[in-house]
Amino acid sequence: MTIDKSLKVRRGMMSNRNVLTRIERLGKLQEQDRWQEGDPVLGLPKVRVQKVSLKKKKKVKKDDED
């Protein structure tokens, strides 16, 4: 059975999530040295989620010199 075209995720249509899973939060906190192994996993501090935006390429206009 195939997936309908409207249900497929296109590369440009992927949206940013504003909530991280607990494992993702622990990974970010470990990178920032705000959580060590053995600390409680409940009541974790907030972690900022940075949105990734792709810059659009500028179109280059070609000048015709005749």
Nearest to 18 by CA among 54, 56, 55, 46: 46
Q: For residues 51 and 16, is the Cβ–Cβ distance under 8 A?
A: yes
- In this predicted structure, the answer to whether residue 60 has a pLDDT above a threshold of 80 is no
Domain borders along the chain are 17-42
| pTM for this entry | 0.54
pLDDT tens per residue, range 14-43: 666 788 899 999 999 999 999 999 999 899
